[in-house]
Amino acid sequence: MKIGKVFNQLILIMLMLVSLCCMIVVIMSMFTLPDLSTGKIVESSKMEGRYSKGEKLGKFGEMMIEMLPNDLAFTVFVPSEKAFERDLRLRANQSFSREEWDNVYATVSHVLGFSAIPRKIYAGLLPRGKDLSYDSVSGFTLYISKGFDGVLVVNRVRAERIDIKKGKVVVHIMDGVIMDAEFEQSVLPNDDGDQMTMDI
């Protein structure tokens, strides 16, 4: 009888200790979690900072964001204007004929399919040195990591700016275009270097 009482008291003490530890962990985590609602980025890095609501993503980046539904959360890895020009030969200040514009629109929508994920992913919350994989809306697998230097990398393309909020969309501006090998072959420049070959 005495042994049963001691055993019950030990169980009660253990439960109280576990509850106390859980409460301490919850309280500590409340103080260390970043406040995402203010738009501030917690980690310090050259890429990170505060972004105004009027942050410009460039002509093609804005085009990509406009193609998404307004009421759903997405993360989009938008190529920088330089990346669009370097990798796809699309210049923001170029005037396009109607036929060229159709090709540009198709190209940008393909890039969106490869680089948009239907969920919010903040670079400031990613663990360093750990690879994560997500399927984009086109089914293309994106391998996302953050190096120990704090730089976000997606399929070997490094980020220039991160965690920009555009409504329900989280935007990361990348120094390259994320695409599969087949699409990359279809948009390789011709010999003259000014036009794109489009096999879309």
Whether residue 25 is contained in a domain is answered as yes
Ranges of residues in the chain whose predicted pLDDT is under 50: 32-54, 191-200
Whether residue 194 is contained in a domain is answered as no
Whether residue 192 is contained in a domain is answered as no
97's tokens: 């004929």
Residue 143's pLDDT is 95
Domain identity same for 7 and 78:
no
For 20-74, the pLDDT digits (tens) are: 777 776 666 655 444 333 333 333 344 443 344 445 788 999 999 999 998 899 9
Distances (CA, A) of 13 to 2, 22, 23, 103, 191: 17, 14, 15, 70, 78
Residue 44's pLDDT is 37
Whether residue 74 is contained in a domain is answered as yes
> Which amino acid does the sequence have at 129?
G
The CATH number of the domain where 59 resides is what? 2.30.180.10
Question: What is the number of structural domains in the chain?
Answer: 2
Whether residue 193 is contained in a domain is answered as no
Residue 55's pLDDT is 53
In the chain, the DSSP E strands lie at: 74-79, 116-117, 132-135, 141-146, 152-154, 157-166, 169-174
Domain identity same for 54 and 138:
yes
Q: Indicate the length of the chain as a whole number.
A: 200
Domain identity same for 94 and 181:
yes
Residue 179's pLDDT is 92
Domain identity same for 12 and 104:
no
